[in-house]
Each structure stands twice: as structure tokens, then as C-alpha cells.
């Protein structure tokens, strides 16, 4: 008999009422940093990322009993985080549409320059500005594939999108980002 994986052990602890809180702390320390990076790439603001990450973790905690184990725990958490980020972006977009006529890349650039979490160089800043111009779901697909090196199958489980559509979305995102980065160099 093979020993249980770390994820299987963690799931067992999460389902045990006596171990649930301690296990959830393990979940947060294990998956929190990767979720934070993913959300930061989607939201471009440390404060907003922190809020959405908190919402994600609260939703995950409240719905642990609904996790069926059909996918990896990380996939389930990424799906919650992505959906929370997309909801936040839709809500924020409606709010800001009334008050701003700035391009998303310009707004993201200002957020990055003022963000205590961002310490990247100029190339990284250009990449983040280019990412900010992508539609939210396309940005998520690009981030999952490029930064997290997730296979299309897993991204499909997270986003509920077919692998073919994901490949097309990733390809379009790459082309848009290349175009934006070339414009920065010239």
C-alpha cells in the first residue's frame, strides 16, 4: 500500500472536525502564496489581491464539505480564486466606468508603481502593464500557463473552458503581450 499524499492527508484533516482549523492553517500556508501571486497578476493591486484572497479562503473554508475530490485541491482553490477575481473585476469595472476614462494598462501601471508588493524592474513592469490590457479571463489563462506552468487539462478544470479554447486564448494573449512589449521597446 502506498502512503497517502500530502494532499490526501490534508483533506483527511480538513474533514475531521477536531483537526479542521489547524489543517486549514496548513492549507493557507501551502496554497496561499501561489493563490496570492495568481490573484495579483489578475488584479494588479496588492490591497485588492489581499481582499479577494481573503474572500477566496473564507469561501473555501465554508465549502470544504462540498469538495468532492473530483480534482486536485489546488485546482479547486484556483477555481474559487479565479471566480472571485472575475467577480471583483466585473464589480469594480462597473463602479469605475462612471469615474475614469483611463486605459486599464495606465491604471495598472499606477497601481504597480505605488504597490508595496511590487519590486520588479522595468521589464517586469512592462509585462504587468501588458497583462493589465488583457481581458480578465485571458489574463488568467496566460498566468496559469506562463507563470504557473499548469497543463491545459488543469486550466480547463479551473476555468470550465475547453482545452481548444484555452489554447486559442493563450495564443491570442501571447500575441497581444508581444505587441505591447514591442511598443515599449520602440
| Spans in the chain with pLDDT lower than 70 | 1-4, 94-120, 185-186
Predicted local confidence at residue 95, as pLDDT: 61
Predicted local confidence at residue 52, as pLDDT: 97
Predicted local confidence at residue 5, as pLDDT: 86
Q: What residue ranges define each of the domains in the chain, with the CATH number in brackets?
A: 6-185 (1.10.1740.10)
pTM, entire model = 0.79
Predicted local confidence at residue 157, as pLDDT: 94
Predicted local confidence at residue 13, as pLDDT: 93
Give Cα 169 to chain centroid, integer Å. Answer: 16
Return d(Cα 142, Cα 82) in angstroms, integer. Answer: 13
pLDDT digits 0-9 by tens, 47-97 = 999 999 999 999 999 999 899 888 899 999 999 999 999 999 988 876 655
Residue 180: C-alpha distances to residues 42, 95, 102, 166 (Å): 17, 27, 17, 21
Predicted local confidence at residue 170, as pLDDT: 97
| Contact (CB, 8 A) for 44 and 106 | no
Predicted local confidence at residue 186, as pLDDT: 67
| Contact (CB, 8 A) for 78 and 106 | no
Closest alpha carbon to 117 in 29, 44, 15: 44
Amino acid at each position: 500500500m502506498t502512503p497517502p499524499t500530502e494532499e490526501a492527508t490534508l483533506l483527511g484533516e480538513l474533514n475531521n472536525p477536531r483537526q479542521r482549523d489547524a489543517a486549514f492553517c496548513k492549507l493557507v500556508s501551502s496554497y496561499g502564496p501561489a493563490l496570492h501571486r495568481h490573484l495579483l497578476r489578475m488584479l494588479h493591486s496588492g490591497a485588492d489581491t489581499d481582499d479577494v484572497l481573503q474572500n477566496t479562503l473564507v469561501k473555501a473554508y465554508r465549502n470544504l464539505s462540498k469538495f468532492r475530490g473530483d480534482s486536485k485541491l489546488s485546482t479547486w482553490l484556483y477555481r474559487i480564486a479565479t471566480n472571485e477575481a472575475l467577480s471583483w473585476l466585473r464589480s469594480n469595472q462597473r463602479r469605475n466606468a462612471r469615474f475614469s476614462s483611463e486605459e486599464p494598462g495606465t491604471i495598472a501601471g499606477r497601481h504597480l508603481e505605488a504597490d508595496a508588493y511590487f519590486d520588479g524592474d522595468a521589464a517586469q513592469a512592462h509585462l504587468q502593464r501588458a497583462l493589465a490590457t488583457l481581458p480578465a479571463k485571458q489574463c488568467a489563462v496566460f498566468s496559469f500557463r506562463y507563470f504557473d506552468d499548469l497543463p491545459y487539462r488543469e486550466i480547463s478544470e479551473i476555468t470550465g473552458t475547453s482545452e481548444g479554447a484555452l489554447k486559442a486564448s493563450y495564443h491570442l494573449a501571447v500575441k497581444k503581450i508581444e505587441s505591447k512589449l514591442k511598443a515599449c521597446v520602440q
